[in-house]
């Protein structure tokens, strides 16, 4: 963090400065909240043209390319940030969804999301390297009906739906997503299970055809028909990217 110094001739910001110079004091200027590289942030003065525009400065990271509007004049001598352009590579998934997909974030929120994004990136790297012990896998006692007593449960998520895609009416041959069931989901070293409201569902890991994720949900496609398990993205639990990575790691 000590490497970064503002250019000596850079103009001072319009915002009323707190006791310290804002360019020295605020974390987003020292390290990138998005990719966590230090010393890669450039502060560009905001411009007001014909009275338009916020006049607020922008922060650009030369490592990940993210651009954020930065407001150092927020209440109580703190700051806020709003990402305008972000790097959408899978490496930055968590930051993309929770830093990039939002409006203004105050200092506390932005720092917390940034911290989580850092941890999540490490988790993904661990999982891709096959390290899953941090999930504390353990058998369920007693196991639910379709689970054998020696299956190790790695992940439990609720609610998860079991769905099927089918072609819609003849006129608009669009795909319809039908929810077949919903309930508690378990991912074990051998199978995926759903204790549904209607019945219990279970598929072997080797019967998984594909695992996908978006910024909103993860999906595990199973069997020969267009059936899949789906869970929503939960930032404070196992997010969609991490869930998909864990399934892939267990399938190996």
Binding region for Zn ion (CB under 5 A): 32, 34-35, 61, 63-64
- Residue 165, φ and ψ in degrees, nearest 5: -95, 130
Listed residue (242, 246, 218) closest to 232, CA to CA = 218
Which of residues 13 and 64 has its CB atom nearest to Zn ion in the complex?
64
To Zn ion, the closest distance from the beta carbon of 122 in angstroms equals 16
Which of residues 35 and 247 has its CB atom nearest to Zn ion in the complex?
35
Which of residues 35 and 153 has its CB atom nearest to Zn ion in the complex?
35
Listed residue (249, 145, 248) closest to 193, CA to CA = 145
Quote the CA–CA distance of 248 and 250 in Å, as a whole number: 5
What's the length of the chain? Answer: 252
To Zn ion, the closest distance from the beta carbon of 174 in angstroms equals 39
Which of residues 63 and 126 has its CB atom nearest to Zn ion in the complex?
63
To Zn ion, the closest distance from the beta carbon of 65 in angstroms equals 7
To Zn ion, the closest distance from the beta carbon of 75 in angstroms equals 26
Quote the CA–CA distance of 75 and 16 in Å, as a whole number: 11
Looking at residue 223, what DSSP letter applies? T
């Amino acid at each position: 963090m000590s490497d970064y110094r503002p250019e000596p001739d850079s103009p001072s910001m319009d915002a009323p400065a707190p006791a310290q110079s804002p360019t020295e004091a605020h974390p987003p200027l020292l390290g990138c909240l998005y990719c966590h590289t230090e010393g890669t942030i450039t502060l560009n003065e905001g411009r007001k043209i014909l009275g338009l525009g916020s006049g607020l400065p922008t922060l650009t990271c030369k490592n990940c390319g993210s651009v954020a509007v930065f407001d150092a004049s927020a209440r109580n001598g703190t700051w806020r940030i709003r990402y305008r352009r972000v790097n959408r590579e899978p490496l930055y998934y968590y930051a993309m969804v929770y830093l990039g997909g939002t409006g203004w974030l105050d200092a506390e929120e932005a720092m917390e999301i940034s911290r989580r994004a850092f941890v999540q990136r490490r988790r993904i790297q661990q999982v891709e390297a096959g390290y899953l012990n941090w999930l504390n896998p353990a058998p369920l006692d007693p196991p639910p009906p379709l689970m054998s007593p020696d299956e190790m449960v790695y992940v439990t998520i609720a609610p998860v739906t079991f769905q099927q895609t089918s072609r819609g009416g003849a006129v608009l041959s669009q795909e319809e997503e039908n929810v077949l069931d919903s309930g508690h989901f378990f991912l074990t070293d051998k199978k995926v299970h759903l204790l549904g409201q209607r019945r219990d569902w279970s598929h072997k890991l080797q019967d998984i055809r594909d695992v996908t994720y978006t910024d909103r949900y993860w999906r595990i496609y199973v069997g020969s028909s267009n059936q899949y398990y789906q869970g929503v993205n939960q930032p404070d639990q196992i997010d969609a990217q991490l869930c998909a990575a864990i399934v892939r790691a267990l399938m190996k």
